[in-house]
């Protein structure tokens, strides 16, 4: 129980005890997660945390990644892009590569398991072995926004999905009208990770100083890749409107754009829009800068996520967890997290964003109210223990199919 007990100070003992009570019903169940990589990316990151927590409750949780050659991963990258709505040229030969690689990974299913959980599209064809391997329950966890998925590629994969017992999506908007149950299971953040753990005031101040941000002047921040869909130039335009009223700084902190030609271009546009303004800090940070981002968010007065399109938006979850007032674009999962005027503000335009920034800068009481509600909303719904609880529920539900209310003995 040691792992789960680390969260007692964050969500309270009663909540942890409730999760342990649920876990008792699943003791000894063999749960096998399969995805496409053990390192890198959000799926591996969440599994690295989820699997040990399941184990700590007595569930025999295991995790494997399918192996494939470069050709296979080219195909899966193409599928990934198509799922995100990009038009791709997907041929029957590429489908064959996907299926063949999955056949080669069939040995992953040799050990018995009560519940097999496939993450994302890459290992989908493994489900064709469900009878042969005598594995009774199969669930598909989709971590991708499928709402704009290329219909040809999705059409080719759908028949695999419909061989599962259930599918899991982050948001209702991602569901696909399937003939199997579609569970809504939002993602979560780990409050103990480097990105989210508590920092001392000194650590925050040191980071702020290191980046050359004036500690005497408040700053607003947007943390995001340099990507047009995150509208960094729009943020600068909103900031210009705010500057007429407030002496304030703007920080745009983004991931490294060196391997992304489009990112390099956007970063250039952002620098041009900033026009060497000493109050605008553009930080092109390496992907390992978790503590730095954490400190920058904690030091900010307001956090912005002015996305034009967004997945669930875990960066917003992280911002809200730090008790900051967030102004977010009214898109994707931001709408689920930011309840307008309760846990933050939603804004769809540059002018609207500027107005909300001004309102928050002028009204610390309002900032405190929104920031406090934001933190509590995340605490109740989008932290790792809640995510684990939802998984336990889902696993238990498989043993009580067809019931809308189940009383556990």
Partner 1 sequence: MADPFKICSEVGLVVHTNYKAESLKSFLNGLKKVSGSSIFYHVHHALLRRHFATSDHMNDFARWVLEALGQSILSERLASVDPMGTRSVREARNQLVSFVSEYVGGGELFFRVAEGKEFHFLELHSLIVPLKTVEPDLESFYHALKKATLGTFFFHMIEAPIRLAKHSNDFSEWLITDLGEDELAAEIAHLNPYMYNLWELKAKVLQCVRKRLKEDWQQ
> Does residue 377 belong to the site contacting partner 1 (CB under 8 A)?
yes
> Does residue 27 belong to the site contacting partner 1 (CB under 8 A)?
no
> Does residue 211 belong to the site contacting partner 1 (CB under 8 A)?
no
> Does residue 407 belong to the site contacting partner 1 (CB under 8 A)?
yes
Give dist(CA 98, CA 180) in Å, integer.
23
Which residues in 91-198 belong to E strands, given as ranges?
115-119, 137-141, 166-169, 182-184
CB nearer to partner 1: pick between 338 and 350: 338
CB nearer to partner 1: pick between 244 and 409: 409
100: β partners? none
> Does residue 400 belong to the site contacting partner 1 (CB under 8 A)?
yes
CB nearer to partner 1: pick between 291 and 366: 366
> Does residue 373 belong to the site contacting partner 1 (CB under 8 A)?
yes
Note whether 197 and 294 are within 8 A (CB). yes
> CB 233 → partner 1: shortest distance, Å?
23
CB nearer to partner 1: pick between 68 and 187: 187
For 324, residues 6+ apart whose C-beta sits below 8 A from its C-beta are 297, 298, 300, 301, 302, 303, 371, 374
> Does residue 190 belong to the site contacting partner 1 (CB under 8 A)?
no
Which residues in 132-189 belong to E strands, given as ranges?
137-141, 166-169, 182-184
Site map 230..269 versus partner 1, x via CB under 8 A: ----------------------------------------
For 186, residues 6+ apart whose C-beta sits below 8 A from its C-beta are 170, 171, 312, 333, 336, 381, 382, 387
> CB 86 → partner 1: shortest distance, Å?
18
Question: What are residue 285's phi and psi, to 5 degrees?
Answer: -100, 150
CB nearer to partner 1: pick between 19 and 75: 19
The per-residue DSSP string of 244-286 comes to TT---EEEEEEE--TT-HHHHHHHHHHHHHHTT-TTEEEEEE-
Contact window for partner 1 (CB under 8 A) among 83-91, 136-144, 199-207, 398-406 = 398-406
> CB 396 → partner 1: shortest distance, Å?
6
> Does residue 147 belong to the site contacting partner 1 (CB under 8 A)?
yes
> Does residue 62 belong to the site contacting partner 1 (CB under 8 A)?
no
> Does residue 365 belong to the site contacting partner 1 (CB under 8 A)?
no
User: Interaction with partner 1 in 165-184: which residues (CB under 8 A)?
Assistant: 169, 172-173, 175, 177-178, 181-184
> Does residue 73 belong to the site contacting partner 1 (CB under 8 A)?
no
- Which of these, 20, 170, 152, 178, lies nearest to 89 by C-alpha position? 152
Q: Is 291 exposed, middle or buried (CB count within 10 Å of its CB: 0-12, 13-18, 19+)?
A: middle
Which residue is associated with the tokens 């100070």?
9
Q: Is 28 exposed, middle or buried (CB count within 10 Å of its CB: 0-12, 13-18, 19+)?
A: exposed
> CB 386 → partner 1: shortest distance, Å?
10
Give dist(CA 69, CA 80) in Å, integer.
17
Q: Is 240 exposed, middle or buried (CB count within 10 Å of its CB: 0-12, 13-18, 19+)?
A: middle
> CB 5 → partner 1: shortest distance, Å?
16
> Does residue 1 belong to the site contacting partner 1 (CB under 8 A)?
no
> Does residue 154 belong to the site contacting partner 1 (CB under 8 A)?
no
CB nearer to partner 1: pick between 127 and 395: 395
Give dist(CA 303, CA 223) in Å, integer.
8
> Does residue 324 belong to the site contacting partner 1 (CB under 8 A)?
no
CB nearer to partner 1: pick between 167 and 207: 167
> CB 340 → partner 1: shortest distance, Å?
7
> Does residue 93 belong to the site contacting partner 1 (CB under 8 A)?
no
Which residue is associated with the tokens 């703007």?
250
Residues at the contact surface with partner 1, assessed by CB under 8 A: 12-15, 17-18, 21-22, 147, 169, 172-173, 175, 177-178, 181-185, 339-343, 373, 376-377, 380-381, 389-390, 393-394, 396-397, 400, 403-409
């Amino acid at each position: 129980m040691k792992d789960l007990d680390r969260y007692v100070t964050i969500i309270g003992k009663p909540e942890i005890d409730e999760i342990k009570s649920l876990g008792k019903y699943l003791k000894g169940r063999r749960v096998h997660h399969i995805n496409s990589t053990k390192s890198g990316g959000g799926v591996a990151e969440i599994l690295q945390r989820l699997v040990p927590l399941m184990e700590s409750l007595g569930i025999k949780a295991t995790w494997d990644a399918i192996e494939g050659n470069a050709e296979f991963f080219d195909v899966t990258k193409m599928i990934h892009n198509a799922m995100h709505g990009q038009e791709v040229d997907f041929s029957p030969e590429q489908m064959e590569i996907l299926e063949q690689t999955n056949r080669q990974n069939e040995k992953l299913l040799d050990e018995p398991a009560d519940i097999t959980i496939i993450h994302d599209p890459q290992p989908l064809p493994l489900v064709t072995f469900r009878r042969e391997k005598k594995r009774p329950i199969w669930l598909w966890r989709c971590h991708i926004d499928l709402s704009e998925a290329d219909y040809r590629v999705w059409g080719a994969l759908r028949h695999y999905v419909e061989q599962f017992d259930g599918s899991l999506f982050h948001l209702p908007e991602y569901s696909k009208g399937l003939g199997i149950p579609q569970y809504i299971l939002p993602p979560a953040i780990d409050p103990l990770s480097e990105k989210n753990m508590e920092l001392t005031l000194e650590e925050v101040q040191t980071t702020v100083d290191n980046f050359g941000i004036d500690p005497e002047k408040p700053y607003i921040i947007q943390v995001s890749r340099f990507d047009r869909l995150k509208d960094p130039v729009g943020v600068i335009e909103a900031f210009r409107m705010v500057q007429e009223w407030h002496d304030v700084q703007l920080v745009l902190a983004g991931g490294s754009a060196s391997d992304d030609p489009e990112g390099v271009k956007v970063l250039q546009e952002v620098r041009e829009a900033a026009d060497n303004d000493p109050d605008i800090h553009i930080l092109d940070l390496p992907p390992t800068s978790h503590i730095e981002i954490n400190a920058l968010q904690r030091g900010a007065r307001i956090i912005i996520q002015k996305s034009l399109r967004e997945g669930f938006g875990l960066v917003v979850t992280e911002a809200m967890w730090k008790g900051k007032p967030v102004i977010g674009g009214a898109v994707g999962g931001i709408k689920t997290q930011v309840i307008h005027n309760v846990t933050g503000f939603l804004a769809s335009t540059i002018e609207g964003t500027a107005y909300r920034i001004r309102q928050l800068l002028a009204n610390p009481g309002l900032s405190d109210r929104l920031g406090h509600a934001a933190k509590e909303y995340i605490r109740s719904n989008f932290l790792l223990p809640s995510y684990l609880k939802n998984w336990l529920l889902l696993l238990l539900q498989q043993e009580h199919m067809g019931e809308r209310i189940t009383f556990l003995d």
